[in-house]
Amino acid sequence: MANRIPGLVFLFPGQGSQAAGMGKELAFHHIAARRTFDEADEALGYSLSQLCYEGPDEKLRLTEITQPAILTVSIAAARVLAEAGIEPSFVAGHSLGEYSAHVAAGTLSFADAVRTVRNRGKYMQEAVPVGVGAMAAILMLSLEDIRAACIEAVSEFPGEVCEPANINSPGQVVISGSKAAVEKAAELCKHKGAKRAVMLPVSAPFHCSLMQPAQERLAADLHVLNFHAPQIPVMCNVDAVPVCDGEKSRETLIRQVTGAVQWEASMKALIAQGATQFVEAGPGSVLTGLLRQIDKTHGCLNVEHEATLQKAKAHFGK
């Protein structure tokens, strides 16, 4: 706790940031990272570390492997940063990344989290048959217009679903639901002036009401785990408010499966509460890019391998 840097937030990435080779350098250079991969391998009963280090990419894209893989790389990065004396005063994670945030905050044990997100990936994949659901990214259109397009699309396809799923930044909202309705809404968004409306190559329609079966299965798993009070505030996706209580943490992770990720609102809330510096811990720099769109005055470093770690250490005078 003594090393926590006032105003520093760790951000943890979600699905889509995976790539073969992730975490390999950190594990080579740092025992804390290597031990994290060993813990994951033991908890899961297979060599997740080998899949992270070597791929193949098509296996890493399987949701039930992607989710524990990204979580493991993220926690390895966070532990190496902590070892260097760089610890946050707040944490937040995008979708899957919220589990990484809770591990970093001490809410959940790493072994429990890695097993839970493996099941989360499996449940989400099985909730909707492949090809039935879809997601689309809408760029540079107001949320009000996007919601209107979703409502209009559903009126053309009664009984189907189309909802905002990730409200990522002022210029980027992802919609999710039944394939025909999402395709129609994407087309309507273009007519309403969206710069682009892109169908995403995803295996399931995440963060919408079609995920209700997955939410119920995950709730049963989460109810048997020990949740502790987070040692630092964790910004929750669905409400864009910090949680500091174990039971509340469990409840928000359950609602997150069908609820929209309020990322833009979460970042603005953190800044309003005194966040001044951000580090994206884990693979890729998606969240670094989103923060740039939300608030250009707050920079974000990403730490995923040795070079980026050394840059962060230099920045914080470590």
Positions marked active-site: 95, 207
DSSP codes of every residue in the chain: -TTBPTTEEEEE--TT---TTTTHHHHHH-HHHHHHHHHHHHHHTS-HHHHHHH--HHHHTSHHHHHHHHHHHHHHHHHHHHHTT-B-SEEEESTTHHHHHHHHHTSS-HHHHHHHHHHHHHHHHHHS-TTTEEEEEEES--HHHHHHHHHHHHHHSTT--EEEEEEEETTEEEEEEEHHHHHHHHHHHHHTT-SEEEE---SS--SSGGGHHHHHHHHHHHTTS--PPPSS-EE-TTT-SEE-SHHHHHHHHHHTTTS-B-HHHHHHHHHHTT--EEEEESSS-HHHHHHHHH-TTS-EEEESSHHHHHHHHHHTT-
Return the biggest CA–CA distance within the chain.
Answer: 58
Nearest to 78 by CA among 285, 300, 303: 303
Structure tokens that stand for 39 in this block: 């813990």
CA distance 115 to 236: 20
Structure tokens that stand for 67 in this block: 């989710």
